């Protein structure tokens, strides 16, 4: 750690706003996973006491934060191309006598560090995902214009101990993210996350429960617990023992008003019996699980260092379906990992046919600097990867369409998330994360209502309210 510890105190966090009008404006550009979305929210919260309120566009912003993702190819190029655009805006504003602080955050910032300010000297701050609790101090240093501020150490303190609660001005959202675990010790052959997010660390259960209660008090009815390996969660519990994710889920399910709990992303190896039992016991735990398997070939799973077989995964899905028969699954797949043959790819296709996914994401393998697979022999040619990806995506699309079609005619509980695009229309979310549109009053926002699914759109369902009175999902699910 190169810097003295920074704490948000009454002195340095004193609001500099009057009558809630922001003195300064912040524009946030967020790429990557849900954790980056959560982090962007936290960065806004940390800066709110300094008088920063939201800016619609970078041209209106006194500070722009680009929160980046490093997971696949050309991540760094994409950052520099966006920075080029922001540079023009910064220069235009400078000509009008306005200062603009430009910060690069997230996983590219962590991976590239000072290289970013070497190539783009107009960037004021580069900060990794573990240091954003120190943003106020970084901003102060950037204002003093003593050269770029670069903070990519993994500090000894946990940033969560220094973050303020979600700012009262933040938009009231019916669905919310909550990071409970961060970092990864799994070191899959292809993946940068252990290097950009650091070692696995879990937040204490009491801190998670307090944040969940705060979110519920602010209107959240569905909380998605986040972690790079969320089911490896092992936070200190109130009883002095380490709690696993199952124990935490039981505690969260007791919070009045918290109707729905989800968690992502899980690793098959950390899916223990307690967590499977929690799916049987807790109606609030939604019957939809993103459980990435990456490949259906044991040879490739071994090369990927996933440390389980395709049959282990099949058995796991079976156990979960036994515990909760209405459970649906999604996954991530990589095609063209080094060494993947046509037969390995066929094993992946077979696994997909065997499981039947409600949805899935698939990617072409992309070599990431510094990861073991990037230096492996047996690189798969690009046209071959393209062909496999197209074939896999067609199968996944067919399964997704089939899954959606099977919900037509069913009565399902939908969490109303707000007004729809057309007058009189409202939007909601099914237990399976499907977007649902229906006619109804906006006053139902935040309630779980029973609907009948009437039809399919490309990526959503249309439905009618069964009656306008809210239902208890716990009773109806
Ligand atoms: N922590 C999660 C996901 C991390 S990244 C997990 O363990 O599953 C999200 C997805 O991006 C991964 O599941 C993987 O399918 C994909 N991915 C990661 N690295 C990749 C790479 N080098 N090339 C292509 N896809 C990759
Ligand atoms: Fe990456 Fe594997 Fe860790 Fe997931 S489990 S974040 S894919 S290293
Ligand atoms: Fe991307 Fe970092 Fe998330 S690399 S996927 S933003 S953990």
287: closest CA among 312, 317, 310?
Answer: 317
pLDDT band at 463; cut points 50, 70, 90: very high
Which has more confidence, 166 or 76?
76
Which tokens in the block code for residue 96? 């009008």
Domain boundaries, the chain: 6-151, 172-286, 322-406, 411-476
What was the pLDDT predicted at 473?
Answer: 53
Contact 138, 149 (CB under 8 A): yes
- Cα of 195 to ligand 3 centre, how many Å? 11
Label residues 456-476 b or e (16+ Cβ within 10 Å = b): eeeebbbbebeeeeebebeee
Q: Which residue has the tokens 């009231």?
A: 172
- Rg of the chain over Cα atoms, rounded to whole angstroms, equals 23
Topology adopted by domain 322-406: Transcription Regulator spoIIAA (3.30.750)
- Cα of 292 to ligand 2 centre, how many Å? 10
What was the pLDDT predicted at 468?
Answer: 52
List strand residue ranges (DSSP E) for 327-447, in order. Answer: 328-335, 359-364, 411-419, 425-429, 435-439
279: closest CA among 208, 329, 211, 241?
Answer: 329
What was the pLDDT predicted at 15?
Answer: 41
pLDDT band at 153; cut points 50, 70, 90: confident
- Cα of 99 to ligand 1 centre, how many Å? 38
Distance CA 386, CA 200 (A): 34
- Residues 310-337 have a mean pLDDT of 98
Alpha-carbon 405 to chain mean position = 27
Q: Is 322-406 the same fold as 172-286?
A: yes
Q: Is 107 in the pocket of ligand 3 (CB under 6 A)?
A: yes
**CATH class, range 411-476:** mainly beta
pLDDT surpassing 50 at residue 8: no
366: closest CA among 382, 349, 384?
Answer: 382
Atom of ligand 3 nearest to the CA of 71: 4
Which tokens in the block code for residue 97? 């006598």
Atom of ligand 3 nearest to the CA of 67: 6
Which tokens in the block code for residue 43? 């960065």
- Second-level CATH architecture of 172-286: 2-Layer Sandwich (3.30)
Tell me the binding residues: 33, 69, 107, 184, 188, 191
What was the pLDDT predicted at 163?
Answer: 79
Which residues' Cβ are closer than 6 Å to ligand 1?
Answer: 71-72, 190-191, 193, 228, 265, 267, 292, 294, 332, 334, 363, 365-366, 368
What was the pLDDT predicted at 11?
Answer: 36
CA-nearest residue for atom 1, ligand 3, is 69
Contact 25, 54 (CB under 8 A): yes
pLDDT surpassing 60 at residue 393: yes
271: closest CA among 300, 312, 226?
Answer: 312
- Segment (H or E) for 25: strand 24-30
CATH (residue range 6-151): 3.40.50.12160
Q: Is 32 in the pocket of ligand 3 (CB under 6 A)?
A: yes
């Amino acid at each position: 750690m190169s810097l003295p510890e920074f704490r948000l105190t009454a002195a340095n966090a004193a609001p500099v706003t009057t009558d809630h009008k922001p003195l300064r404006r912040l524009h946030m550009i967020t790429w990557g996973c849900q954790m980056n979305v959560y982090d962007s929210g936290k960065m806004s919260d940390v800066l709110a006491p300094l008088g920063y309120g939201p800016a619609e566009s970078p041209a209106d912003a006194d500070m722009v934060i680009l929160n980046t993702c490093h997971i696949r190819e050309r991540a760094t190029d994409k950052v520099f191309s966006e920075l080029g655009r922001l540079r023009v805006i910064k220069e235009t504003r400078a000509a009008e006598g306005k200062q603009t602080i430009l910060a690069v955050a997230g996983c590219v910032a962590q991976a590239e560090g000072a290289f970013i300010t070497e190539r783009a000297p107009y960037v004021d701050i580069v900060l990794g995902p573990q240091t954003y609790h120190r943003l106020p101090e970084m901003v102060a240093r950037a204002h003093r214009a003593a050269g770029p501020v670069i903070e990519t150490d993994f500090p000894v303190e946990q940033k969560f101990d220094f973050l303020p609660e979600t700012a009262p001005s933040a938009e009231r959202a019916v669905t919310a993210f909550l990071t409970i675990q961060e970092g990864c010790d799994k070191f899959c052959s292809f993946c940068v996350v252990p290097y950009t997010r650091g070692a696995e660390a879990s937040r204490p259960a009491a801190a998670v429960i307090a944040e969940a209660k705060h979110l519920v008090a602010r209107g959240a009815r569905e909380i998605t617990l986040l972690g790079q390996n969320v089911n490896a969660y092992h936070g200190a519990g109130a009883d002095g023992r380490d709690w696993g994710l199952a124990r935490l889920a039981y505690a969260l399910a007791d919070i009045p008003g918290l109707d729905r709990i989800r968690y992502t992303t899980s690793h098959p190896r950390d899916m223990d019996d307690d967590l499977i039992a929690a799916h049987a016991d807790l109606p609030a735990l939604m019957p939809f699980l993103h459980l990435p398997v990456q490949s259906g070939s044991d040879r490739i799973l071994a090369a990927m260092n996933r440390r389980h077989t395709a049959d282990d995964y099949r058995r796991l899905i079976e156990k979960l379906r036994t515990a909760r028969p209405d459970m649906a699954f999604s996954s991530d797949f990589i095609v063209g990992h080094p060494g993947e043959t046509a037969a390995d790819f066929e094993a992946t296709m077979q696994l997909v046919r065997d499981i039947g996914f409600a949805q899935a994401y698939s990617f072409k393998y992309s070599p990431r600097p510094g990861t073991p697979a990037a230096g492996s022999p047996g690189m798969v040619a690009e046209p071959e990867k393209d062909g496999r990806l197209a074939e896999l995506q067609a199968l996944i699309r067919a399964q997704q369409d089939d899954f959606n079609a099977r919900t037509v005619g069913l009565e399902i509980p939908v969490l109303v998330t707000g007004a729809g695009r057309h007058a009189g229309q409202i939007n909601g979310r099914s237990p399976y994360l499907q977007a649902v549109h229906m006619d109804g009053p906006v006053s139902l926002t935040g309630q779980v209502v029973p609907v009948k699914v009437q039809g399919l759109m490309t990526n959503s369902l249309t439905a009618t309210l069964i009656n306008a009175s809210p239902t208890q999902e716990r009773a109806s699910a």
